[in-house]
Amino acid sequence: MSDKPRLTVLAGPTAVGKGTVSTFIRDHYPQVWLSVSATTRAPRPGEVDGVHYYFVAAEEFDRMVADGDMLEWAVVHGRNRYGTIRRTVEQAMAEGKSVLLEIDLQGARQVKDSMPEANFVFLAPPSWDEMVRRLVGRGTETPEEQQQRLETAKLELAAESEFNHTVVNDDVRRAAEELVSLMGLVPNPR
């Protein structure tokens, strides 16, 4: 019997680089089953439906919530809805896969309520200044959206104590290696 955690939740403040770490995991760790969320937001250039997200209309998202299809879901940054599709995650867990959810803090709290035995990993920025630099540097949001994200990030930084582990995102490869180790898997050789 393996004692590897079946489900790991990666959450953390806005712009801490959760997406970059999960992209690195998707590209370098096929042994990790990374959940593909549903979202009502529009695809960014280069994003592929079914790979990065399932891009769904608001009505479709409503239907999924009403039907109980979501393991968790949240409105993120006061704008769009994002949710984890219950069936695919439960199936991957039943198959013994190492499942990773990269979601926001509200979603992590919902998973903690329904699956307290899951492994909760907080991705922390090396510093507040670095986090602001990353947020502003991304350049895909308006100044109003950036301000909204910073406000959310301040609240989210305070949530670290709710998690089992903290990984500092000082370097994407290193952070991914630490995360994979916390999932009970072996990091790739350098």
Residues that bind ligand 5GP (CB under 6 A): 14, 18-19, 37, 41, 72-74, 76, 82-84, 102-104, 106-107
Dist CA 110 CA 132 (whole Å): 27
User: CB of 75: closest distance to ligand 5GP in angstroms?
Assistant: 9
Return the number of the residue (74 or 180) whose C-beta is nearest ligand 5GP: 74
Return the number of the residue (58 or 186) whose C-beta is nearest ligand 5GP: 58
Return the number of the residue (49 or 186) whose C-beta is nearest ligand 5GP: 49
Query: With contact defined as beta carbons under 8 Å apart, do 30 and 73 qualify?
Result: no
User: CB of 1: closest distance to ligand 5GP in angstroms?
Assistant: 30
User: CB of 103: closest distance to ligand 5GP in angstroms?
Assistant: 4
Return the number of the residue (20 or 182) whose C-beta is nearest ligand 5GP: 20
Return the number of the residue (41 or 134) whose C-beta is nearest ligand 5GP: 41
The distance between the two most distant Cα atoms of the chain, rounded to a whole number of Å, is 51
Cα 182 to its chain centre, rounded Å, is 15
User: CB of 104: closest distance to ligand 5GP in angstroms?
Assistant: 4
User: CB of 190: closest distance to ligand 5GP in angstroms?
Assistant: 28
